[in-house]
Homo-oligomer: A and B are copies of this chain.
């Protein structure tokens, strides 16, 4: 019996943002593997084994999924958002490359999902309407000096900047340091969006100017978007302003 492994994106949180393709894969699975809170999103049913594990155990989790598939199981590895963006897909391929040669011949599929930055952007308006970059602020797997370099170059390129994993209990200071790097390089009124628990009942979206952006506003479930020189607000009477980045850029920003 030949097994399979599907690496599926559950989207930001709500079931209404899970693609039919992913729902079908979950229905066909014999095993669900992933970070505990994401595995918990998949409803229990007879014949389904759920293997929730702790955060920061991605490689062990990937190996476990590959072993199950090699043993003939139909495994779905779940990620929040899109599995290819700072999530489980790269971990599974790392495990495949370093592991048993048979793992390369497994049936492996990646199913995309709605990633956190586009879900967050949608709630605020259209801040990603022009060229942008996505930077994982965690320095668990890369040197912080590289993050700093990328922030400076992203500012110079005038990209809108999406910051994934802005803080964690073990890394409380990175977001503040990122703002400190960006403040001399972008106008104080540049909109910064904090989007927390997007699509869930406790969703919270705030926009504030970079000059007064408070890193403590972010938690582990927050995606932060820092606008470019062109990102702007459209004020409304009784509701939060829309935040968006126009499609066009003037010639001057190319200096």
* CB-contacts of A111-137 with B (<8 A): 111-115, 118-119, 121-123, 125-136
Number of A positions contacting B (CB below 8 A): 79
For the complex formed by this chain, how many copies does it contain in all?
A: 2
Task: Please give, as numbers and ranges, the residues of chain B lying within 8 Å of A45 by CB-CB distance.
Answer: none
Identify whether the interface residues of A are mostly helix, strand, loop, or mixed: mixed
A55 to chain B, nearest CB (A): 14
Q: In the complex, what residues of B have CB within 8 A of residue A21's CB? A: 14, 16-17
How far apart are A14's CB and chain B's nearest CB, in angstroms? Answer: 8
**Which residue on chain B has the smallest CB distance to residue A106?**
B236
Q: Does A110 contact B (CB under 8 A)?
A: yes
Partner-binding segment picked from A32-40, A89-97, A208-216:
A89-97
Q: Name the residue on B nearest A164 (C-beta).
A: B131
Contact with B along A140-156 (1 / 0, CB 8 A): 01110110011001101
Q: How far is the CA of A172 from the CA of B90 in the complex (A)?
A: 33
| Interface presence of A1 (CB below 8 A) | no
- Minimal Cβ-Cβ distance residue in B for A150: B157
Please judge, given known A-B contacts A136-B131, A153-B153, whether A247 and B83 are in contact too, CB under 8 Å. Answer: no
Q: Which of A64-72, A180-188, A237-245 contacts B (4 or more CB under 8 A)?
A: A237-245
Bound complex: CA A149 to CA B155 (Å):
12
For the complex, give the distance between the alpha carbons of A253 and B150 in Å: 11
Interchain nearest-CB distance for A25 vs B (Å): 10
A82 in the interface, Cβ–Cβ < 8 Å?
yes
If A17-B112, A90-B247, A94-B246 touch, whether A83 touches B122 (CB-CB below 8 Å) is yes
B110 touching A123 by the CB < 8 A rule?
Answer: yes
Q: A11 on the interface (CB 8 Å rule)? A: yes
Smallest CB gap from A24: residue in B: B16
Contacting pair A234 B96 (CB below 8 A): yes
Question: Which residues of chain B are within 8 angstroms of A179 by Cβ–Cβ distance?
Answer: none
The 3 A-B pairs of least Cβ separation, nearest first, read: A90-B129, A89-B126, A133-B133
- Can you list 19 A-B pairs with a CB-CB distance of less than 8 A? A16-B19, A19-B19, A82-B118, A84-B121, A89-B125, A89-B129, A90-B129, A91-B247, A93-B129, A93-B234, A105-B236, A112-B118, A112-B121, A115-B115, A131-B135, A142-B248, A146-B158, A146-B249, A146-B251
Which A positions have Cβ atoms within 8 angstroms of B? 9, 11, 14-21, 24, 58, 82-86, 89-94, 96-97, 104-105, 108, 110-115, 118-119, 121-123, 125-136, 141-143, 145-146, 149-150, 153-154, 156-159, 232, 234-237, 242, 244-249, 251, 253-254
